[in-house]
Amino acid sequence: MRVSMDIELKDVPGQMLLALQPLSEFKANLITVLHHHQKRTPRKTVPVQLVLETKPESIEVIKAKLEENGIRVVRVGEHRFRESINVVLIGHVVHTGIQDTIDEIDKTGFAEVVDLSLSMPGIDLLSSALIRIDAVGKEDLQKALDILKTVSARKDLLMVLPIDIQA
């Protein structure tokens, strides 16, 4: 699973290495590191945001190890979604299982459907849905759209994507 972690480093050399060592030791896959060197906390430490992919059981162990190394772990959170788009689906959106369509995205762990508007004007008429997908990063968003594309093709749904997205 993917988790985000906010940590604080002392402003002395070698701190980043101490922070990354436990991740490598417990085979966590580091997705992003945002090192806010210019932003100091009131404690004069440097805030760092990490997104990593690891087994759920490793999270507590990594956290303990970081603290053992003198690194303050401020927050361990659910995914930090930074990318978001709207997609329109047209077709028999409900009859072909809207829940299943959403599940396909949600179960990825890196993207999820966070909003849904639905219109069903009549039983024989095409339904329209507008869904909002949040994802951890741009690549993840693209992967989520690829999944949605496959699902839409299978369910004969027309998928209308934003103009700035690679269709």
Partner 1 sequence: MENMKTVHCSILGFGAIGQGVAEVLLMKKEYLKSIGLEVLVVAVVDSKGATVDPAGVDLADCLARKRTKGTVAIEKLTGVEVIRSVSHELVIETTPTNIVTGGAGLQNMLAAFETGKDVVTSNKGPLTLKYRELTKAAKAAGSNFRFEATVGGSMPVINLANEVLAGNRLRSIKGILNGTCNYILTRMLEERASYKDILAESMELGIAETDPTYDVEGIDTACKLVILANAIFGLDVTYKDVEVTGITKITPEALEMAYERGHVIKLIGEVSRERIQVAPRLVPINHPLAVRGTLNVASIDTELAGEITVTGKGAGPIETASAILSDFVAIYGDR
Residues forming the site for partner 1 (CB under 8 A): 86-88, 90-91, 117, 119, 121, 125-130, 158, 160-163, 167
Beta bridge partners of 46: 9
Nearest distance from C-beta of residue 20 to partner 1, angstroms? 36
Residue 42 in contact with residue 89, Cβ under 8 Å? Answer: no
Residue closer to partner 1 (CB basis): 19 or 131 = 131
- Name the amino acid, one letter, at 107: K
Nearest distance from C-beta of residue 136 to partner 1, angstroms? 22
Residue closer to partner 1 (CB basis): 34 or 125 = 125
Residue closer to partner 1 (CB basis): 38 or 166 = 166
Any idea how long the chain is? 167
What is the DSSP code (8-state) at residue 138? H
Residue closer to partner 1 (CB basis): 32 or 86 = 86
Pairwise CA distance, residues 90 & 77, whole Å: 34
Residue 35 in contact with residue 16, Cβ under 8 Å? Answer: yes
Nearest distance from C-beta of residue 166 to partner 1, angstroms? 9
Nearest distance from C-beta of residue 74 to partner 1, angstroms? 34
Q: HSE on the CB side for 77, CA within 13 Å?
A: 13
